[in-house]
């Protein structure tokens, strides 16, 4: 867009000379919605990243990690979030849920994380310029759960996580007096995003998905094949320009880890370009 390729009206609004009116630039932007459950542990857990992924038949990816959470830092972050969203995030809220079981202080909390993320997704949004300065962030809208099928996938993923929470292997770490609703209420109390919280979120899986949705940094689209670029990733209507990254994904690509796909595609097409000495 900054180079003059994109929706002409939007470019002219920012004083950018239009070289090619291409209304699909910036459209079809998606991000895999992620929701998690936090499991406080009396036992010390190692700090670990995601190592194993469970792939369901219904399109939800189940992953786990473990961490140490600094509650005083969360309180500071939560106070900032409160300026922008209708949230009641506070350490007092967190301690009211689990403090009587763990005798928490502000130094921190050992916990496991189990998360689910929707494949695809089917919901999509757009990217728009805010200024013509390339150092300024654009305006990005992902429209999480705009397609109800993504919401159904989230609910099914959380139902799978609940089964894991109630399994025997987790009993070694999970306090039996903390119900699933307690664990959900704990996440609702955390400053995860700028969305308002609803009182029924710990008891309503659809509302929980909406209120606590997060990014897992797999955003993609906005310059898609057959819409902006052709199957050789050349920009349609431009002689010597290719776009080969996570923005130029096939619309039907339903992968979860889009960066792995982008790396493979980039390596292949870099070889083609080098072999033919072409742009």
Are 202 and 53 within 8 A, CB to CB?
A: no
Catalytic site residue 218?
Answer: yes
Mean pLDDT of all residues in the chain?
A: 83
Considering 10, 14, 198, 218, which one is annotated as catalytic?
A: 218
Q: Where are the alpha helices (DSSP H) in the chain?
A: 8-13, 71-81, 91-102, 148-165, 168-171, 180-188, 205-211, 258-276
- Report the alpha-carbon distance of residue 55 to residue 151 in Å, rounded: 17
Beta bridge partners of 126: 27, 141
- Report the alpha-carbon distance of residue 122 to residue 124 in Å, rounded: 6
Average pLDDT estimate for 4-32: 96
Q: If you average pLDDT over each of 65-69, 136-140, 257-261, which comes out highest?
A: 136-140
With 70 as the cut, is the pLDDT of residue 279 above it?
A: no
Are 91 and 152 within 8 A, CB to CB?
A: no
How confident is the model at residue 275, as a pLDDT? 66
Q: Report residue 86's pLDDT band, with 50, 70 and 90 as the boundaries.
A: very low
Q: Tell me the per-residue pLDDT of 148-202, one tens digit each, with 9 for 90 and over.
A: 999 999 999 999 999 999 999 888 888 888 889 989 998 988 878 889 889 999 9
- Report the alpha-carbon distance of residue 36 to residue 56 in Å, rounded: 16
How confident is the model at residue 216, as a pLDDT? 86
Domain boundaries, the chain: 33-215, 224-279
Q: Does domain 33-215 have CATH number 1.10.260?
A: no
Q: 200-236 burial, b if ≥16 CB within 10 A, otherwise e?
A: ebbeebbbbbbbbbbebebbbbbbbbebbbeeebbbe
- Report the alpha-carbon distance of residue 128 to residue 222 in Å, rounded: 10
How confident is the model at residue 68, as a pLDDT? 76
How confident is the model at residue 40, as a pLDDT? 86
Pairing of strands 139-141, 125-128: antiparallel
With 50 as the cut, is the pLDDT of residue 78 above it?
A: no
Q: Report residue 50's pLDDT band, with 50, 70 and 90 as the boundaries.
A: confident
pTM: 0.83
For residue 253, the tally of other CB atoms under 10 A from its CB is: 14
With 50 as the cut, is the pLDDT of residue 84 above it?
A: no
Are 132 and 16 within 8 A, CB to CB?
A: yes
Q: Which of 164, 123, 72, 117 is nearest to 251 (CA)?
A: 123
With 60 as the cut, is the pLDDT of residue 230 above it?
A: yes
Whats the size of the chain, residue-wise? 279
How confident is the model at residue 83, as a pLDDT? 41
The number of helices, as runs of H, and strands, as runs of E, in the chain is: 8, 10
């Amino acid at each position: 867009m900054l180079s003059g390729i994109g929706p002409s009206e939007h470019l002219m609004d920012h004083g950018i000379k239009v070289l090619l009116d291409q209304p699909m630039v910036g459209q079809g932007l998606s991000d895999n919605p992620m929701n998690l459950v936090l499991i406080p542990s009396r036992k010390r857990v190692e700090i670990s990243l995601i190592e194993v992924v469970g792939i369901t038949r219904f399109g939800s990816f189940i992953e786990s990690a473990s961490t140490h959470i600094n509650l005083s830092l969360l309180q500071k972050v939560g106070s900032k979030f409160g300026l922008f969203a209708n949230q009641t995030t506070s350490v007092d809220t967190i301690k009211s849920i689990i403090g009587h079981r763990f005798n928490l202080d502000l130094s921190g909390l050992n916990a496991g994380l189990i998360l689910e993320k929707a494949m695809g997704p089917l919901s999509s949004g757009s990217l728009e310029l805010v200024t013509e300065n390339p150092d300024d962030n654009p305006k990005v809208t992902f429209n999480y759960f705009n397609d109800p099928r993504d919401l159904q996938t989230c609910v099914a993923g959380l139902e799978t996580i609940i089964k894991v929470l109630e399994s025997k292997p987790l009993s070694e770490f999970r306090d039996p007096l903390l119900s699933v609703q307690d664990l959900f209420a704990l996440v609702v109390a955390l400053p995860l995003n700028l969305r308002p919280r609803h009182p029924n979120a710990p008891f309503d899986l659809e509302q929980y998905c909406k209120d606590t949705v997060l990014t897992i940094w797999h955003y993609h689209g906005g310059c898609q094949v057959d819409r902006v670029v052709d199957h050789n990733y050349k920009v349609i209507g431009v002689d010597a320009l290719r776009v080969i990254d996570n923005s130029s994904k096939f619309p039907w690509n339903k992968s979860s880890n889009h960066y792995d796909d982008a790396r493979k595609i980039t390596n292949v097409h870099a070889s083609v370009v080098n072999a033919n000495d072409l742009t």
